[in-house]
Structure 1
């Protein structure tokens, strides 16, 4: 097929997937399709993508008579480049398959259409990545009345046929907008079909797993459980796993997936695991305790988890404790450690002596109950960070008062404060945290009526504006207009502009732009650093 004859709908699908276009951007992108159609360079690139990616996007058109369940969805229609690929003899170069099904009552008619398209070729031997997205529009009443027994033959037929047509899948990417039993079962059937050679599993919906034997080649796992009750992982070999990303689970018994029933050892060694990213569901916090990691389906979850090759450790959404950290044996150093938790969580890990990391981030959520002793815990956690390249602290507990002597760790490089903070405390932080390069303040306030002296813009008068000894490059300030008037905020910003010679970017979206911009223009001759300053302000005068 000549490049100029590439159908517009196929071209758009290719570009949409290649650039992850969605939402309002998608509509604009589609409007500009005619511009892409005349651009030979774009069409040449798109043509290559057409023959490397097989698309089948199928939307069911609902039957008018929904009262009869046998007349489910009679009119599935597909937009696809499969016929184009087959007609040009390019089946052997296709590397990826993307199947998207949107349905109201049943996905099976749409899958029948898709499978009939794929069956036009005997097999698709080079496809390694299979993406399946199922967008259901079930009502809650219908969900409760689905007969999964009657669905089983269809699910088995789809998974068997898919495996026969696309046998060499090593990566599976599953997405579901809404969790429903048919999608879960179909996703699970597909995963189990490819279990023997599967190396990467991505699932943004729950899946029903039937596989008993381990996924022996599985290296990368990403599952968002969506706070489902069934948060089971496929059985895996710990020595094979290289990255483990789990979100919205309801407990900490994931590790049972790495232990066979006959295994009596007291530890699991993840010899190649480099990335752990676990974000618990808020609903899980009531059941998450320090010994929860010791219990699971077989009662033999080991006491210690060894991660000798770990490089990145991220744990978040915890409220009581972090059993993963309690029962882990970590390497002597890591590239990054990110911990998001409440005051109780930080207190529970204070004694652990985390290994040094190039990037350490600790984010405090709620739960301090105005107890400022949590700052002692935070400063202790940051005590051995002298060699860290990036040390971040995020404070999000709205009830926590912040005083001048609250944060004393000199190694902090990034500080984000989402709670109310007085301008005098801000100045104290800037003057004492000498490694600070980025400061974000979301609720700054000051003493109403207090004036900050801004000298006239001449060299003699400005001589007393002594700069801070700081490395601060990025400053973001949002203030409380009801208790911090615009005029006072403007004075505060002007003072900072003159005393932060290293500043390269200022953001204050609630601040009127004209007074600040005029001030910067007037001061540039005497303060050269303002010449390169980037500002983001309110567009009002």
Structure 2
């Protein structure tokens, strides 16, 4: 195919691409795609034969890609792939629709890549959807991103009325021409009333058809939407007006909710404390809850602390009487405000992600018993040892059953030596990047964990190279024997991600030692960076349970 022909008939060329790239010269094929002016995602699609499910993203405006980016981050192996097409002229709209039909698009993202009039964006999206309903028969997920759209200017009343009519028309078009939509995600600026009217109208009229609704505004909390018809709601609350009251709301049969991007600043504090009237939101059937916070600046953190020092009665409640699974990402100091006067009687699993503050904050959570407690904490050098013990003992002391809980700790310091730890609910222990200055520092830590009923133990990043003779002796005589493993151990999984040189004697000793000491092992993961192929082959031949995760250099 001649490169000079590119641009003459783009639609015909894309159809030819769907038949597969030329077998002899793939590089020339990619060059042609570059001249065609499409982005790297589309190039990946065109050089891939298997088309199962596609995700198309329509960038209304500038594509934002430079020529150098066409050749970055190739991923031709994923079954789910993205098609990102620039929308630069009216002639491209038919081409975009034909591409969607050709690749059985399952998700459609409509967004602006530059500041553009929102009325024009709605008009073009509607025109695209009206081309042929059969193009969108496979689409079940729709993303409407108006974050960069500019509303019409002018008088407040006339401008709002015009935008309301525009958004209402778009909502009707979406649900008429995308018949199988079950997931709707909106990214809107809630301060722009026209955008919130669009979501409100859409939700009230078409909510029973949706399985999941995601909105980046507090609209779901401010309006009485029939959420009982949904299974998943994702509320990305960016801000809230100070002193605004919230109505009581019943979540009905809602099973899962995600509170994302809660700002860690003063406005979030006022969202809880400065309400004009008390508000109570109860989700009677909710089982899954995810809470995610923004990282705030130092000024924001100080503002939150000032709020916490003031004595204000709680006027806001979130009630989750049936909650079973709770995930908290990047928890701030005042996370307990979310769960005021709530006792998680049915909670089965808590998963906490964050730095040391996640431990402190979650000690204020109220729950009776938890079967599965996952804590992912990154312990900094400036964190006091006794505070770490207090927080973890408080959390794991509530885990009454010996189920599959795990503690994932990143320890970049040498003086963490628990001697009175009561993590009796922990069955999986991860020590991540535990790069101690000396191997000897591991001995008290392992001694304190000896009574754990572990079934999985993972060490990631324990150094064994560049050790002097005394350190290697410590590794063999002190560290290994003090691991919490005995002949009657119930441990079934062992992961040793050890950095070491190829023929270090301690590395040769480690796998043999564990296989002899832990007869119940059915899985051993080793991550040696520089073993010789001959040694690995011999090791696997003698001990078939050993798994090698990295190829030797």
TM-score by length of 2: 0.64
Paired with 1:182 and 1:386, the residues of 2 have a C-alpha distance of 44
Quote how far apart the aligned CAs of 1:112 are. 3.0
Matched, 1:32 2:59: no
Paired with 1:366 and 1:148, the residues of 2 have a C-alpha distance of 50
Residue number in structure 2 paired with 1:369: 382
Paired with 2:236 and 2:226, the residues of 1 have a C-alpha distance of 22
Q: 1:257 to 1:181 in 2, by over 3 A?
A: closer
Paired with 1:181 and 1:239, the residues of 2 have a C-alpha distance of 24
Paired with 2:545 and 2:510, the residues of 1 have a C-alpha distance of 20
Quote how far apart the aligned CAs of 1:396 are. 2.5
Matched, 1:534 2:547: yes
Matched, 1:360 2:373: yes
Paired with 1:233 and 1:27, the residues of 2 have a C-alpha distance of 50
The one of 410, 415, 434 equivalent to 1:396 is 410
Residue number in structure 1 paired with 2:185: 174
RMSD: 5.4
The worse-fitting range, judged by mean Cα deviation, of 158-167 and 100-109 is 100-109
Paired with 1:26 and 1:233, the residues of 2 have a C-alpha distance of 47
Q: 1:82 to 1:258 in 2, by over 3 A?
A: farther
2:332·2:358 contact (CA, 8 Å) conserved in 1?
A: yes
Deviations 1:57-95 (A, max 9, x none): 6455669xxxxxxxx96546231159979xxxxxxxx99
Q: Secondary structure at 1:323's aligned position in 2?
A: helix
Residue number in structure 1 paired with 2:531: 512
Q: Secondary structure at 1:512's aligned position in 2?
A: coil
Paired with 2:114 and 2:318, the residues of 1 have a C-alpha distance of 44
Q: 1:24 to 1:80 in 2, by over 3 A?
A: closer
The worse-fitting range, judged by mean Cα deviation, of 126-135 and 101-110 is 126-135
Residue number in structure 2 paired with 1:420: 435
Q: Secondary structure at 1:378's aligned position in 2?
A: helix
Counting matched residue pairs gives 460
1:410·1:434 contact (CA, 8 Å) conserved in 2?
A: yes
The one of 167, 172, 192 equivalent to 2:200 is 192
Paired with 1:233 and 1:366, the residues of 2 have a C-alpha distance of 38
Quote how far apart the aligned CAs of 1:309 are. 0.8
Q: Secondary structure at 1:476's aligned position in 2?
A: strand
The one of 250, 254, 258 equivalent to 1:238 is 250
2:453·2:490 contact (CA, 8 Å) conserved in 1?
A: yes
Q: 1:130 to 1:235 in 2, by over 3 A?
A: farther
Paired with 1:256 and 1:454, the residues of 2 have a C-alpha distance of 54
Deviations 1:212-259 (A, max 9, x none): 64213364321446x778899997723334322122211498799999
Residue number in structure 2 paired with 1:89: none
Q: How does 1:34-433 map to 2 (within 5 A)?
A: 58-60=58-60, 74-75=89-90, 77-78=92-93, 79-81=96-98, 98-101=108-111, 103-106=113-116, 109=120, 111-119=122-130, 131-134=142-145, 149=153, 155-167=163-175, 171-174=182-185, 188-197=196-205, 198=207, 202-203=213-214, 206-207=216-217, 213-217=223-227, 219=230, 220-224=232-236, 237-240=249-252, 241-251=254-264, 264=278, 268-283=281-296, 285-288=301-304, 302=315, 304-324=317-337, 327-350=340-363, 354-366=367-379, 369-373=382-386, 374-399=388-413, 401-403=415-417, 405=419, 407-418=421-432, 419-421=434-436, 422=439, 424-425=442-443, 428=446, 432-433=450-451
Quote how far apart the aligned CAs of 1:127 are. 10
2:498·2:526 contact (CA, 8 Å) conserved in 1?
A: no
Q: Secondary structure at 2:108's aligned position in 1?
A: strand
Matched, 1:449 2:449: no
Q: Secondary structure at 1:149's aligned position in 2?
A: coil
Q: List alignment gaps of at least 5 residues for structure 1.
A: 1-5, 13-22, 37-45, 64-71, 86-93, 456-465, 525-529
Paired with 1:201 and 1:149, the residues of 2 have a C-alpha distance of 33
2:255·2:288 contact (CA, 8 Å) conserved in 1?
A: yes
Quote how far apart the aligned CAs of 1:131 are. 0.6
Paired with 2:43 and 2:527, the residues of 1 have a C-alpha distance of 32
Paired with 1:411 and 1:290, the residues of 2 have a C-alpha distance of 36
Paired with 2:408 and 2:97, the residues of 1 have a C-alpha distance of 47
The one of 499, 515, 523 equivalent to 2:517 is 499
Quote how far apart the aligned CAs of 1:7 are. 6.0
Quote how far apart the aligned CAs of 1:392 are. 1.0
Residue number in structure 2 paired with 1:41: none
Quote how far apart the aligned CAs of 1:329 are. 1.4
Q: 1:404 to 1:381 in 2, by over 3 A?
A: closer
TM-score by length of 1: 0.65
Q: Secondary structure at 1:132's aligned position in 2?
A: strand
1:319·1:342 contact (CA, 8 Å) conserved in 2?
A: no
2:183·2:213 contact (CA, 8 Å) conserved in 1?
A: yes
Q: Secondary structure at 2:399's aligned position in 1?
A: coil
Residue number in structure 2 paired with 1:18: none
Q: 1:471 to 1:287 in 2, by over 3 A?
A: farther
Q: Secondary structure at 1:196's aligned position in 2?
A: helix
